[in-house]
Structure 1
């Protein structure tokens, strides 16, 4: 279903030198978190719909759209501080995490222009940065049934 973007957002993304750029917000949830982690891709904090997003620059590449593959996005953040690495190690690479990505305009912080929620997977760490894939589990590669009857596991049927 198409989304009706605001006129300010449409003119900003279509403009070469817009007076303001859209902001990308991240909201990361995990079963071990008491509340979501909220980060804004900016150097300043911003409040959106009553929630404070901490200004922390990151790199986000939106989901691609290639035939015969699930959409995948990429998220990269600087590897600073021990808390993030500790969480990655204790949570099995962030297994079970959901990342909600939203785009807003600083002039209208309560109007979310678009959003998408993706699963966090394939977390890779190095000294300068932490990179992960965002997407959905490929359900087409999974078996629809849990038990298959084959000659090797059910010889009496064959």
Structure 2
């Protein structure tokens, strides 16, 4: 799918010595959070679209491309505070959380060049980092109907 990047962003991506690098922002949303967790993969805080993102390093492993398997990516965030662990523990492993990734340039923080929202699952924490799988729910493994009448589910009619 073609993306509609700005001319400045395309120039930065193609340059070997660009004056600035794209910044990736991360928003984690969950019903147990009063407001989303907002961090910037940079060394300084940044405000984009009127919202402040706190500088916090994180890493993203891009999705693989295997046949007969949904693509999955992985997110790793430094375990820098008790608040993150408290939220993971009290929310039942953050079930139902989503991660929104946004790419911007520091010189134009209100212009979103690219964004994607994915589900968070399989969250694991160590002393140094918190990791999670990113992906989408596999709706093809769900049954198409709520109740099926066969000898196992309704033996009385057979």
The alignment's TM-score, normalised by the length of structure 1, stands at: 0.91
Residue 137 of structure 1 is matched in structure 2 by: 137
1 CA distance for matches of 2:17 and 2:2? 26
1 CA distance for matches of 2:75 and 2:97? 13
Residue 156 of structure 1 is matched in structure 2 by: 156
Residue 11 of structure 2 is matched in structure 1 by: 11
2 CA distance for matches of 1:110 and 1:47? 8
- After superposition, the C-alpha distances for 1:23-72 in whole angstroms (9 at most, x for unaligned) are 00011111122211111001100011111111111112234444433232
Write the mapping of 1:36-75 to structure 2, written as runs, cut at 5 A: 36-75=36-75
2 CA distance for matches of 1:64 and 1:113? 23
Give, in angstroms, the shift of residue 124 of structure 1: 1.1
CA contact (8 A) 2:30 2:97 kept: yes
For these two proteins, the number of residue pairs brought into alignment is 158
Residue 127 of structure 2 is matched in structure 1 by: 127
1 CA distance for matches of 2:102 and 2:64? 16
CA distance 1:41–1:137, shift in 2 (3 Å): same
CA RMSD, 1 decimal: 1.6
CA distance 1:36–1:136, shift in 2 (3 Å): same
- After superposition, the C-alpha distances for 1:67-125 in whole angstroms (9 at most, x for unaligned) are 43323221101122222111111111111211110001111111100101111111011
Q: What is the SS of the residue equivalent to 2:89?
A: helix
Residue 117 of structure 2 is matched in structure 1 by: 117
Structure 1, gaps ≥5 residues long:
none
Greater shift, 79-88 or 37-46, is seen at 79-88
Post-superposition, which runs of at least 4 consecutive aligned residues in structure 1 deviate over 4 A?
Answer: none
